[in-house]
């Protein structure tokens, strides 16, 4: 039972920080500005919460997002009004789409001058921040009376920690932040708990029973594991139950790109990643063995996850979708069983039913040798020869193959950015259970990993955090390595240097009649990224020979841990190598052909 103490004469700013303490928040992120000064003064001396000052508010939001994804705790961003808040918008949008619990706290001009054209006026007559964030947050309010603050703040918190997790925004005019609340009952601990059982909307055990029997009687079922399984599958006990079930019932498993590695890619029933940049195994298996039942666990089936809403994923008989987000269910393919249920609970229930039906085992007709033979006879990868190429500049296929070897059995968290490297990583890197993947597949935003890796590393200071990104994305937000240097955060950046916006260049080349790839239209102009990185306080490494990668990665990991200094590896890759995105390019070609003919 929660106990309360009575606080008297406490300012809204002080109370805000006390609520964040209760949340167990250790780091908050942002850029200072006059209107948030009441908070900054408290944070300056705070014993447990550190204010990390980034170089751009977008970077701060990415950091808070990385912090939230690593810990499951609330990520908090403080900005000033107007441009401070709008700079954070893209970062908040990334978190929203990927269901990361983020709170944006914006300082505003005092209520008495609201609408008078104060600096960074965010009122109804200025650039209306509250309205802007209503579109990217499930809660967006301005507090206009200090006594109303505790109630509004509690609502924002509960929304952020809801199911699924949400982004929230609360604006505090400066006179409200400094106003005192005469008396308030303050909880001594977090006074709300989200019970998992609450997420078992099924309560209708019959549905899971039906699902079990459908799976059991299917000739060719297949499971697609999405990132909604992350919390459940990172518990070894839940993963073991799921592995037991699919092994006993001989069901092949694919993951979405974002869920890569959640189900071990080395498992006998794994087909690897399905979706854009996915493995040849998953794509060919579906082509050659059209499923009668597809079980989608925790995936929105967006463009990445469904490989552009591929019809091969549509079963001949039964589509089953289990998710805690009702809006995902039936969004793309017609669904015969849509179950609003927590994945962990679903797996436990399925296993209970399985145990009761241990003697009814009709799935024996499914032939496990068939899958083993298929995997033996078919390549999982495109261009296998390039995975071992000694060419200079390096073949990206080789780079990601080397990276897998390096990461094997090492506890490494990868932060994957957007560009060609997303596809190369998804296709060629093989993740083991000790490797965790974080990505911004949802909003597909360049530059996300540069901040997210810093926030995550601050949350878990002994973790090895490696951001994988293209040179364009690095130039967009790489400035945040200076934030890492300033706060002694030993985060590692692996930058694929092709001196181009490669994904766009190849995409345009693939869909256009013009040969853009031969021009320097999308070139970056040969920036010296080693000098750039070193000038911002990082150690820089140039990797221009294939056998250097492993040694340099080892050294970078050592120095990151020992000297708590950011490390930047610039990997010179062959700019002409196409990432495995042909499905997307073909779809774009089709749109152009249909609309221009």
Q: Which residues bind ligand TPP (CB under 6 A)?
A: 418-421, 444-446, 470-473, 496, 498, 500-504
Residues 386, 395 contacting (CB under 8 angstroms): yes
- Least separation in angstroms between residue 568's CB and ligand TPP is 14
Rounded Cα distance between 355 and 329, Å, is: 28
| Least Å from the CB of residue 468 to ligand TPP | 10
Q: Of the two residues 200 and 498, which places its CB atom closer to ligand TPP in the complex?
A: 498
Dihedral sign from CA coordinates of 322, 324, 330, 331 = negative
State the minimum distance, in angstroms, from the CB of residue 65 to ligand TPP. 14
The Cβ of residue 43 has, within 10 Å, a number of other Cβ atoms equal to 18
- Cβ proximity to ligand TPP: between 247 and 308 the closer is 308
Q: At what angle do helices 549-563 and 396-407 cross, to 10 degrees?
A: 50
Q: Which is nearer to ligand TPP, 221 or 472 (CB)?
A: 472
Judged by beta carbon, residue 133 or residue 424, the one nearer ligand TPP is: 424
Which residue, among 275, 314, 267, has the nearest Cα to 293 in the 3D structure? 314
CB of 502 to ligand TPP, least distance (A): 3
Taking the complex as a whole, the smallest distance from the CB of residue 374 to ligand TPP amounts, in Å, to 32
| Whole-angstrom distance, CA of residue 534 vs CA of residue 528 | 10
- Residue 372: other Cβ atoms inside 10 A: 12
In the complex, minimum distance from the CB of residue 156 to ligand TPP, in angstroms, rounded to a whole number: 27
Query: Which residue from 94, 102, 49 is spatially nearest to 75, judged by alpha carbons?
Result: 102
Tokens of 83: 């441009």
Instruction: Say which DSSP state 565 is in.
Output: -
**Cβ atoms of 567 and 560 closer than 8 Å:** yes
Distance between CA atoms of residues 304 and 442, nearest Å: 9
Of 354 and 471, the one with the shorter C-beta distance to ligand TPP is 471
- Nearest to ligand TPP of 173, 257 (CB atom): 257
> Which of residues 38 and 419 has its CB atom nearest to ligand TPP in the complex?
419
- Token pair 């994923």 in the structure block, residue: 313
**CA gyration radius, the chain:** 25
The residue among 222 and 573 lying less far from ligand TPP, judged by its C-beta, is 573
Kindly state the helix (H) or strand (E) to which residue 249 belongs, with its residue range. helix 236-249
Element (H, E) at 375: helix 368-377
CB of 62 to ligand TPP, least distance (A): 11
Give the residue with the Cβ less far from ligand TPP, 238 or 466: 466
| Residue 499 C-beta: closest distance to ligand TPP, Å | 8
Task: Please say which residue, 263 or 501, places its beta carbon nearer to ligand TPP.
Answer: 501
Cβ-based nearer residue to ligand TPP, 277 or 502? 502
Strand partners, 140: 169
Tokens describing residue 500:
């181009």
Phi, psi of 347 (to 5 degrees): -65, -40
**Cα end-to-end distance, the chain, whole Å:** 69
Helix, strand and coil percent figures for the chain, each rounded to 5 = 45, 20, 35
Angstrom distance (rounded) from CA 156 to CA 168: 6
Beta-bridge mates of residue 573: 394
CB of 434 to ligand TPP, least distance (A): 26
Q: Which is nearer to ligand TPP, 375 or 584 (CB)?
A: 584
- Determine the residue with CB nearest ligand TPP: 470
Q: How far is the CB of 482 from ligand TPP (least distance, A)?
A: 19
Query: What is the C-alpha separation between 516 and 493, in angstroms, rounded?
Result: 29
Which phi and psi (to 5°) does residue 277 adopt? 80, 10
Smallest separation, CB 39 to ligand TPP (Å): 29
Question: Nearest distance from residue 503's CB to ligand TPP, in Å?
Answer: 3
Q: Which is nearer to ligand TPP, 344 or 498 (CB)?
A: 498
Quote the DSSP letter at residue 125. Answer: T
CA–CA separation, 439 and 352 (whole Å): 34
Q: Which two tokens stand for residue 197?
A: 């059982």
Q: How far is the CB of 514 from ligand TPP (least distance, A)?
A: 18
Supply the angle between the helices 12-22 and 149-160 in degrees, to the nearest 10: 30
Q: Minimum Å distance from CB 82 to ligand TPP?
A: 21
CB of 70 to ligand TPP, least distance (A): 22
Cβ closer to ligand TPP: 351 or 504?
Answer: 504
Element (DSSP H or E) covering residue 346? helix 343-356
Do residues 262 and 230 lie in contact, with contact meaning Cβ atoms separated by under 8 Å? yes
How many Å apart are CA 83 and CA 78, to the nearest integer? 12
Considering the complex, state which of residue 363 and residue 444 has its C-beta at the smaller distance from ligand TPP.
444
Which residues have a Cβ under 8 Å from the Cβ of 475 and sit 6 or more positions away? Answer: 524, 527, 529
Distance, in Å, from the CA atom of 396 to the CA atom of 390, rounded to the nearest integer, reads 11
């Amino acid at each position: 039972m929660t106990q309360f103490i009575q606080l008297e004469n406490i300012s809204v700013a002080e109370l805000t920080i006390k609520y964040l303490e209760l949340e167990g928040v250790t780091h908050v992120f942002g850029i200072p500005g006059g209107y948030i000064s009441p908070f900054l003064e408290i944070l300056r001396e705070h014993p447990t919460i550190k204010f990390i000052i980034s170089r751009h508010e977008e970077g701060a939001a990415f950091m808070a997002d990385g912090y939230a994804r690593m810990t499951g705790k609330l990520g908090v961003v403080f900005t000033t009004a107007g441009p401070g808040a709008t700079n954070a918008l893209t970062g908040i949008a990334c978190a929203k789409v990927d269901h990361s619990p983020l709170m944006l706290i914006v300082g505003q001009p005092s209520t008495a001058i609201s609408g008078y054209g104060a600096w960074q006026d965010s009122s109804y007559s200025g650039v209306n921040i509250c309205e802007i964030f209503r579109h990217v947050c499930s809660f967006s309010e301005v507090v206009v009376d200090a006594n109303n603050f505790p109630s509004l703040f509690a609502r924002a918190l509960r929304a952020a920690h809801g199911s699924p997790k949400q982004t929230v925004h609360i604006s505090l005019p400066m006179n409200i932040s400094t106003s005192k609340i005469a008396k308030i009952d303050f909880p001594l601990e977090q006074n709300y708990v989200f019970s998992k059982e609450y997420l078992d909307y099924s309560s209708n055990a019959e549905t899971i029973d039906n699902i079990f029997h459908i799976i059991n009687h299917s000739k060719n079922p297949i499971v697609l594991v999405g990132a909604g399984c992350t919390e459940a599958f990172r518990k070894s006990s839940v993963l073991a139950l799921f592995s037991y079930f699919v092994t006993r019932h001989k069901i092949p498993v694919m993951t979405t790109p974002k869920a890569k590695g959640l189900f071990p890619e080395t498992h006998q029933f794994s087909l690897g990643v399905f979706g854009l940049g996915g493995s040849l195994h998953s794509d060919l298996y579906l082509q050659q063995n059209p499923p009668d039942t597809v079980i989608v666990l925790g995936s929105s089936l967006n463009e990445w996850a469904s490989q552009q809403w591929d019809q091969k994923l549509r079963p001949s008989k039964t589509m089953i979708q289990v998710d805690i987000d009702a809006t995902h269910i039936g969004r793309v393919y017609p669904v015969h069983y849509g179950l609003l249920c927590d994945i962990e609970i679903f797996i436990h229930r399925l296993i209970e039913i399985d145990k009761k039906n241990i003697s009814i085992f009709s799935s024996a007709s499914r032939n496990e040798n068939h899958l083993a033979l298929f995997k033996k006879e078919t390549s999982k990868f495109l261009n296998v020869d390039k995975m071992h190429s000694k060419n200079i500049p390096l073949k990206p296929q080789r780079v990601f193959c080397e990276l897998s070897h390096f990461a094997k059995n090492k506890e490494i968290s990868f932060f994957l950015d957007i560009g060609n490297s997303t596809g190369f990583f998804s296709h060629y890197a093989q993740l083991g259970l000790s490797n965790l993947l974080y990505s911004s597949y949802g909003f597909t935003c360049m530059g996300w990993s540069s901040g997210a890796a810093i926030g995550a590393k601050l949350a878990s200071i002994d973790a090895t955090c490696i951001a994988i990104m293209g040179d364009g994305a690095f130039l967009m937000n790489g400035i945040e390595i200076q934030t890492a240097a300033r706060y002694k955060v030993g985060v590692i950046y692996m930058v694929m240097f092709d001196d181009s916006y490669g994904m766009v260049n190849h995409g345009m080349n693939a869909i256009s009649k013009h040969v853009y790839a031969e021009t320097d239209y999308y070139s970056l102009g040969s920036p010296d990224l080693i000098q750039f990185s070193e000038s911002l306080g990082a150690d820089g490494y140039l990797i221009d020979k294939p056998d250097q990668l492993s040694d340099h990665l080892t050294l970078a990991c050592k120095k990151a841990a020992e000297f708590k200094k950011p490390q930047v590896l610039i990997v010179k890759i062959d700019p002409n190598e196409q990432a495995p995105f042909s499905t997307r390019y073909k779809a774009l070609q089709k749109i152009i052909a249909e609309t221009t003919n």
